[in-house]
């Protein structure tokens, strides 16, 4: 999920702030100690996304703060100065929330753009850095690592691996049926040697399988996704079909109920929605329009008509962003994907 168009928050009306931006405003308004307590309960991916949003904000109006506080706390009307945009504030809060080791990695990624220890440390690293660490490992090791990471991060890692290796690795992910604790501990030790420090405790978990492969491919560019699935199909048609059946694509939005669509729309920017709909079927456009107010629907249709031709890759990237939002909301229990999406979740 991206901060809406990367624009400073003061350039937007309060009602147009995304969910991530609202969370960022809330944390910035609480002070570093209280914000740190909240961040302790978030995943690495969530901390990074919110951290990036916080670092991107320069000026927040009182009206925006009031709206966010009304949504989250029932109304706050007197706070106007928050020390927004301060690198020291963000660094302070991250260290309090995550400890110095993890915070250093996250601060580098948010404020600049470096490592940790064991398998768990990989979750705090940039996909390109993870790919560099594992690229010389056996494909089976790479498959286990990809199954351990969050699917969007794994997709980024796959994109950084050689094209010829991707189908084999994804087939291994799809064929994986859990990993014994002893193997995970051994792998954790291998990863630990890349960093230094003590290994994290790794419990047995169900890793890999068709669903895991579908999850990762869902986050990849459409062209790369298709190429990998086609290559897998040449070797194992049944596996390729099984992965496709579990994938959640943009057309599957039609299977989400109206309330779910409205929840999704509150989380995405108008720019992203407009770009995504340029390559959408009429049925999806109608679904979106009917779940907006008449005024908002009319404005969106005007934007679609006024915008000239766009690159298919850009439209598909916007659709992927919306799908990522839908999956996150489904994982949080806020919406139900329905249909094939139910199988995917």
- State the pLDDT at residue 157: 92
Least confident of 71-80, 203-212, 294-303, 317-326: 71-80
Q: Is residue 240 located within the same domain as residue 334?
A: no
Q: Is residue 242 located within the same domain as residue 306?
A: no
Strand partners, 179: 205
The pLDDT tens digits of the residues spanning 162-206 come to: 988 899 999 998 988 777 766 777 777 777 766 554 334 444 345
pTM, whole model, 2 decimals?
Answer: 0.47
Cα–Cα dist 120/184, whole Å: 11
Which residue, of 51, 77, 112, is where some domain finishes? 112
Which residue, of 77, 112, 147, is where some domain finishes? 112
Domain holding 294, by residue range, is 250-344
Cα–Cα dist 54/62, whole Å: 16
Per-residue pLDDT at 274 exceeds 80? yes
Is pLDDT larger for residue 339 or for residue 257? 257
SS3 317: helix
Q: Is residue 208 located within the same domain as residue 135?
A: yes
Cα–Cα dist 122/191, whole Å: 8
The pLDDT tens digits of the residues spanning 149-160 come to: 888 888 989 989
Q: Is residue 106 located within the same domain as residue 10?
A: yes
Instruction: Compute the 3-state secondary structure of the chain and give helix, strand, coil in percent, each to the nearest 5.
Output: 70, 0, 30
Per-residue pLDDT at 107 exceeds 70? no
Mean pLDDT, the chain, integer:
76
Least confident of 69-83, 90-104, 156-170: 69-83
Which residue, of 199, 221, 246, is where some domain finishes? 246
Mean pLDDT of 5-30: 64
Residue 153 belongs to a domain with what CATH number?
1.10.220.30
- State the pLDDT at residue 316: 87
Q: Is residue 150 located within the same domain as residue 30?
A: no
Q: How many domains does the chain have?
A: 3
């Amino acid at each position: 999920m991206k901060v809406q168009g990367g624009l400073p928050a003061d350039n937007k009306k309060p009602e147009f702030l995304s969910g991530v931006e609202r969370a960022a405003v809330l944390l910035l308004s609480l002070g570093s100690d209280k914000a740190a307590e909240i961040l302790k309960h978030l995943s690495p991916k969530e901390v990074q996304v919110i951290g990036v949003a916080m670092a991107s904000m320069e000026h927040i109006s009182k009206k925006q703060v009031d709206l966010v506080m009304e949504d989250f706390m029932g109304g706050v009307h007197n706070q106007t100065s928050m020390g927004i945009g301060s690198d020291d504030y963000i660094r302070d809060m991250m260290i309090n929330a995550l400890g110095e080791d993890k915070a250093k990695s996250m601060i580098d990624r948010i404020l600049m753009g470096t490592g940790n220890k064991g398998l768990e440390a990989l979750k705090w690293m940039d996909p390109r850095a993870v790919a560099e660490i594992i690229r010389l490992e056996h494909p089976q090791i790479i498959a286990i690592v990809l199954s351990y990471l969050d699917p969007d991060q794994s997709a980024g890692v796959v994109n950084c691996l050689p094209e010829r290796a991707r189908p084999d690795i994804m087939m291994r992910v799809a064929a994986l049926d859990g990993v014994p604790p002893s193997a995970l501990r051994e792998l954790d030790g291998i990863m630990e040697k890349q960093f230094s420090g003590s290994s994290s405790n790794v419990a047995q978990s169900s890793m890999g399988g068709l669903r895991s492969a579908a999850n990762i491919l869902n986050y990849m560019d459409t062209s790369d996704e298709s190429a990998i699935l086609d290559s897998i199909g040449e070797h194992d048609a049944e596996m390729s079909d099984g992965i496709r059946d579990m994938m959640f694509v943009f057309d599957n939005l039609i299977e989400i109920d109206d309330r779910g669509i409205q929840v999704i729309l509150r989380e995405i920017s108008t720019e992203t929605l407009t770009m995504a709909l340029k390559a959408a079927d009429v049925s999806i456009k109608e679904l979106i329009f009917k779940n907006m107010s008449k005024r908002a629907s009319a404005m969106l249709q005007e934007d679609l008509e006024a915008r000239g031709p766009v690159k298919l890759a850009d439209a598909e990237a916007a659709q992927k962003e919306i799908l990522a939002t839908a999956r996150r909301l489904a994982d949080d229990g806020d919406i139900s994907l329905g249909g094939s999406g139910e199988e995917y979740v």
